[in-house]
């Protein structure tokens, strides 16, 4: 009691019902407050966590068979990088 689980299901359109996936269909979520970069911040506390990721998945019915995307850099570089010198041919 007091634990969170994710129950993964698969929809069967022929019979119009969901079935629990038999292998690893009930997965305990050990640390719901672990950071989840790239996940939406569902509770708007400024810290996207695994709990936020799973809440968004349920709300949006996302396919979470892949990892969340990496965060995009938000800072611009201070200056343009110096161009690489071009190789010169030796005689």
pTM for this model (two decimals): 0.45
Give 51-84 pLDDT, tens digit per residue.
888 888 778 775 655 666 666 666 666 666 667 7
Assigned domain for 71 exists: no
Residue 1 vs residue 82, higher pLDDT: 82
The domain containing residue 34 runs over which residues?
21-60
In a domain, residue 13? The reply is no
Spatial distance between the Cα atoms of 30 and 78, rounded to a whole number of angstroms: 41
Residue 10 in domain: no
Q: Is residue 46 part of a domain?
A: yes
CA 6, 68, 53, 34 torsion: positive or negative? positive
**Distance (Å, rounded) from C-alpha 8 to C-alpha 16?**
16
Rounded CA gap, 16 and 20, in Å? 14
């Amino acid at each position: 009691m007091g634990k969170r689980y994710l129950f993964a299901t698969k929809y069967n359109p022929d019979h119009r019902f969901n079935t629990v996936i038999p292998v690893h269909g009930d997965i305990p979520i050990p640390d719901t407050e672990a950071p989840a970069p790239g996940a939406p911040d569902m509770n708007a506390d400024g810290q996207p966590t695994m709990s936020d990721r799973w809440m968004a998945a349920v709300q949006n019915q996302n396919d979470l068979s892949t990892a969340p995307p990496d965060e995009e850099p938000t800072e611009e570089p201070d200056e343009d990088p110096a161009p690489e010198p071009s190789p010169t041919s030796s005689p």
